[in-house]
Amino acid sequence: MQATASTHHHHLFCPFTAPSSSRRLSRTLQIGGRRRSSASSVVRMSLRDDGPALAVVGVTGAVGQEFLRVLSDRDFPYRSIRMLASHRSAGRSIPFEGRDYVVEELGPESFDGVDIALFSAGGSISKEMGPAAVERGAIVVDNSSAFRMHPEVPLVIPEVNPDAMAHIRLKGRSNGALIANPNCSTIICLMAATPLHRHAKVVRMVVSTYQAASGAGAAAMEELELQTREVLDGKQPTCKIFKQQYAFNLFSHNASVLSNGYNEEEMKMVKETRKIWNDVDIKVTATCIRVPVMRAHAESVNLQFEKPLDEDTARQILNGAPGVVVIDDRTSNLFPTPLEVSNKDDVAVGRIRQDLSQDGNLGLDIFVCGDQIRKGAALNAIQIAEKLL
């Protein structure tokens, strides 16, 4: 049954408090900064008869909540929206764009009549329910790793490889389809690396990540906050999500370590980069670290090119790249920070400099920061959905 909606005062779904935005990123749209005449104008722009029927799977999680924020922020058109989650969350009321919606328990029948289903409920749920949604004619945009490396499933960053999903459209479709959202670290890295790759062709990329709590979900974010309070109060920190103290510490990413010594997160970056760039020969190595930051990832990226690329040209390229903002003030020692990009759409890049270990302008070092929940997950998925319209 369709989620019931009742008229209610307008409520923007904002689960986390955002730091005050910097003027340097003022061109980035965020939900708190959009100028809107009234709540009713938002409903008129988004809720309309000619829009697609949406479903949000995992709506009570960190990314699920961000789906709602981004849908509202970007005035995504929809004629109906189903809020779906596990039986534990079923029956909860979620306010969205002036209406209250009742969370429904997820099941195959949840996708009857749905055009676009946004999934962020983990790989096992995606593997079970993704095909069920496709069978019922829905186009699934999946945020898990379940289908990313399937050869027939497009793995898409809209600013990077939109052609991979060019054959999938809502209009005139005869059946459902699956589109995969890449890993958050891959998205943030390739948003900055791809414009440079197009110009000079990357032959090798070395990445070190500094990954936020949000990548492990809302419970991890809550535990980081709890641990911080406990440590400051001289108490033993609560370690439920991670096996060790997270506050005032950092450690190797909590993904499983494979026989080759890389963890699963690192291998995702290797494999996904090759698929997105459509280049099996690209050399990629990564070291992924979990750091006590709330919701934005940082990455140190070393690039080796086939053709020379000097830092001034690289800076110009990045300044013109969609979804990228350059923060590279050497005089003031001001560069991207996770805090500054939190709740922002754009990926920030700085520390743009020639790699002194490589001759002939064949190497660059850059430092990249991006909001893990937003561009690293929800925003990218909804940008994919926008291309379906």
Indicate which residues carry an active-site annotation. Answer: 184, 297
As separate numbers, helices (DSSP H) first and strands (DSSP E) second, the chain gives: 9, 16
Report helix, strand or coil for 150.
coil
Q: Distance between CA atoms of 24 and 384, rounded to whole angstroms? A: 27
Q: Distance between CA atoms of 133 and 154, rounded to whole angstroms? A: 17
Q: Distance between CA atoms of 132 and 57, rounded to whole angstroms? A: 13
Q: How many CB atoms lie within 10 A of CB 240?
A: 11
* Cross-strand partners of 96: 99
DSSP 222-282: HHHHHHHHHHHTTPPPP-SSSSS--TT--EE-SSPB-TTS-BHHHHHHHHHHHHHTT-TT-
Q: Distance between CA atoms of 158 and 322, rounded to whole angstroms? A: 10
Find all residues with CB under 8 Å of 303, minimum gap 6, and list them.
193, 196, 197, 202, 204, 205, 355, 363, 364, 365, 366
Which pair of structure tokens corresponds to residue 350? 């700085």
Task: Tell me the residue type at 306.
Answer: E
Find the length of the chain. 389
Q: Distance between CA atoms of 154 and 142, rounded to whole angstroms? A: 11
The DSSP bridge pattern shows strands 296-305 and 363-371 to be: antiparallel
Q: Distance between CA atoms of 10 and 95, rounded to whole angstroms? A: 8
Give burial (CB, 10 Å; 0-12/13-18/19+) of 230: middle
Q: What are phi and psi of 260, to 5 degrees?
A: -85, 0
Mind spelling out the 3-state secondary structure of 181-214? CCCHHHHHHHHHHHHHHHHHCEEEEEEEEEECHH
Q: How many CB atoms lie within 10 A of CB 91?
A: 11
Q: Distance between CA atoms of 31 and 68, rounded to whole angstroms? A: 11
